[in-house]
């Protein structure tokens, strides 16, 4: 340590600032001054490194918690949006992520949600996966997925920033029949939900959400 020429008393004045840098709470000119000192002071460099490790260690204490159902699907959608402008092969990755997430959500999450235990047809489901944008007054407010298989499943995620309360999900089939799939709650415009279908997935032409008074608040159209 013969190269260490800093006056030890000058290092003392940096102690609190080193802690603040480690905690990420010091910025601006003072931060630059302290880091300049650290560059020329091996003792303070070690001090900063160890304090940073302590600060990092505290982050590991947060208890784990399951994110809401549909998290992976919504993440896949955001990853897709993030990747779109770059036109990279992330598309492939995101599509896989979405499909794989759907396998889990449909096979396990939704199954648990409705009390059904049918997880044997997951490969069929992904082989016949269809999705459609849920829109309201021209705005994209979510996404609806329908998977094939026996039974078929539907899953949707919505983030409208408006409606709250109970909404009903209806499917319009190729023969014009309207099928009531069930109800779920929106909180602050936000919600995700899924259910098994009594009809075949290929028969679904559109999906819509209605309020208790029958007003359609959002809809999604699938390709025929």
Partner 1 sequence: MDSDTDGVSDEALLSGMAVGDDRSGLTFVRRYQRRLFGLAVGIVGDVGDAEDVTQEAFIRIFRHAQVFDPRRGSVSTWALTITRNLAIDSIRVRRGVPTDPEDRVFVELMSTARLPDAAALASENVSNIRSALGKLPVDQRRAVLLAALYGRTALQISEGEGIPLGTAKSRIRLGMARLRTTINIEEAL
Please, which residue, 49 or 139, has the CB nearer to partner 1?
49
**Cβ proximity of 174 and 193 under 8 Å:** no
The yes or no reply on residue 29 touching partner 1 (CB under 8 A) is no
Given the rule CB under 8 A, which of 85-93, 128-136, 138-146, 165-173 is the region that contacts partner 1? Answer: 85-93
Cα 110 to Cα 118: distance, rounded to the nearest angstrom: 10
The yes or no reply on residue 87 touching partner 1 (CB under 8 A) is no
Contacts of 220 (CB under 8 A, 6+ apart): 132, 133, 134, 135, 142, 143, 144, 156, 206, 207, 208
Q: Which of 1, 5, 57, 224 binds partner 1 (CB under 8 A)?
A: 57
The yes or no reply on residue 24 touching partner 1 (CB under 8 A) is yes
Q: What is the enclosing helix (H) or strand (E) of 218? A: strand 216-221
Binding mask 149-188 for partner 1 (x = CB under 8 A): --------------------------------------xx
Cα 135 to Cα 85: distance, rounded to the nearest angstrom: 22
Write the DSSP string, 130-197.
EEEEEEETTEEEEEEEEE-SSSEEEEEEEE-SS--EEEEEEEEETTS-EEEEEEEEEBTTEEEEEEEE
Given the rule CB under 8 A, which of 61-69, 146-154, 199-207, 212-220 is the region that contacts partner 1? Answer: 61-69
Q: Which of 5, 66, 87, 138 binds partner 1 (CB under 8 A)?
A: 66
Shortest distance in whole angstroms from residue 176 CB to partner 1? 37
Please, which residue, 22 or 172, has the CB nearer to partner 1?
22
Q: Which of 11, 20, 35, 45 binds partner 1 (CB under 8 A)?
A: 20
**Cβ proximity of 178 and 170 under 8 Å:** yes
**Cβ proximity of 92 and 103 under 8 Å:** no
The yes or no reply on residue 97 touching partner 1 (CB under 8 A) is yes
Question: Which residue ranges make up the site for partner 1 (CB under 8 A)?
Answer: 15-16, 19-20, 22-26, 50-51, 53-68, 71-72, 74-75, 78-79, 82, 88-90, 92-93, 96-97, 100-101, 103-104, 187-188, 190
């Amino acid at each position: 340590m013969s190269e260490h020429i800093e006056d030890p008393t000058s290092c003392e004045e940096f102690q609190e600032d080193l802690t603040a840098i480690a905690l990420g709470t010091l910025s601006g000119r003072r931060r630059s001054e302290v880091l300049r000192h650290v560059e020329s002071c091996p003792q303070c460099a070690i001090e900063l490194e160890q304090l940073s490790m302590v600060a990092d260690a505290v982050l590991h204490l947060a208890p784990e918690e399951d994110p809401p159902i549909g998290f992976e699907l919504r993440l896949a959608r955001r990853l897709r949006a993030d990747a779109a402008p770059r036109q990279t092969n992330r598309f492939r990755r995101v599509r896989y992520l979405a499909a794989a997430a759907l396998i889990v959500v449909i096979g396990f999450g939704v199954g648990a949600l409705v009390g059904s235990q049918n997880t044997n047809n997951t490969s069929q489901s992904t082989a016949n996966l269809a999705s459609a944008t849920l829109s309201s007054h021209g705005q994209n407010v979510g996404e609806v997925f329908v998977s094939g298989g026996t039974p078929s499943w539907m899953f949707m995620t919505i983030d409208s920033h408006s409606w709250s309360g109970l909404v009903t999900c209806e499917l319009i089939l190729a023969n014009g029949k309207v099928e009531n799939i069930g109800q779920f709650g929106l909180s602050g415009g936000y919600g995700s939900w899924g259910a098994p279908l009594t009809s075949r997935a290929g028969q679904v032409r559109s999906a819509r959400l209605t309020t208790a008074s029958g007003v359609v608040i959002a809809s999604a159209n699938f390709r025929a």
